[in-house]
Amino acid sequence: MAEGQEVRVMAISAFPSPKFIEVAGRFGDIDGVWIDQEHSGLPNQDLEILLLACRAAGLDAFARVAPTDYATVMRPMEGGASGIMMAQVSSVAEVEQAVRWMKYHPVGERGMFLGNFEAEFGAKPAPEHVADCNRDRWTVIQIETAEAVECVECIAAVEGVDCLFVGPSDLSNNLGKPGNPMDPHVLGAVERIAAAAKANGKPWGVLSKTEEFALKCRELGCQLFSIAGDLDYINRGIAANKSAFPNFFS
């Protein structure tokens, strides 16, 4: 994205399986996955296994969390996630706190640990580890509440925020148009998010259930597209299978 290119990712939520990630990496034509810890009961130990599968499949990976506390934000990085997507933030203060939880001193408050993947399991010198993490662990902020839209320009300007991400289901619901991201009122909010990202020189992404909405976001400069999740692949596969055997499914 830093080079202006478009990126495709897949959501892992309902079926957090290493084998699913292996298949997606082999045949899905995607650049990475985001692993949902907001709407799933996925513990960190299982997250680490999924991140191992991502590395084996050559896929980048970041985790979505509700930034309720320090450990929730920090631990996916300890497991090998390249970044964190913060869900349900509504204020600049919440964003600033989440960034501090992600970064080492002097930028933030993260506790030092050298026995993980990102520290090369103790092989990387501490000063190099701190510098690399503060530079490379990227922070994605979901804009999915009316309150976040109202201060999105300030959120985008926060040092340490690398990318904005539109959550259209919550955004449309919170704007009184549940399930309709193409509503003009919702699209107006998306346009404001896109403008805030552009003004601050930062990319933005979107989860889209339809090509119509994804194409509209592309017109507005979106670079990061989550256009399918594990459950989408399964449901579409079931529908395609029924279509392939019409005499057996009525």
Q: How many structural domains comprise the chain?
A: 1
- For residue 183, is it within any domain? yes
Identify residue 58 by its one-letter amino acid code.
Answer: G
pLDDT at 44: 94
Domain hosting 238: range is: 7-242
- For residue 248, is it within any domain? no
- For residue 247, is it within any domain? no
- For residue 78, is it within any domain? yes
Q: What is the DSSP letter of 177?
A: -
For the chain (250 residues), the mean pLDDT of every run of 10, in chain order, is 94 95 94 95 95 96 96 95 96 97 96 94 96 96 96 98 96 95 96 98 96 97 96 95 94
Which sign, positive or negative, has the C-alpha torsion 33, 36, 41, 43?
Answer: positive
Rounded to an integer, what distance in angstroms lies between the CA atom of residue 155 and that of residue 229?
27
- For residue 102, is it within any domain? yes
Q: What are phi and psi of 139, to 5 degrees?
A: -115, 120
The dihedral over CA atoms of 66, 68, 69, 72, expressed in degrees to the nearest 10, equals -20
CATH number of the domain to which 149 belongs: 3.20.20.60
Q: Can you list the alpha helix ranges (DSSP code H) found in 90-229?
A: 92-102, 126-136, 146-150, 152-156, 168-174, 184-199, 211-219
- For residue 162, is it within any domain? yes
pLDDT at 250: 79
- For residue 250, is it within any domain? no
- For residue 164, is it within any domain? yes
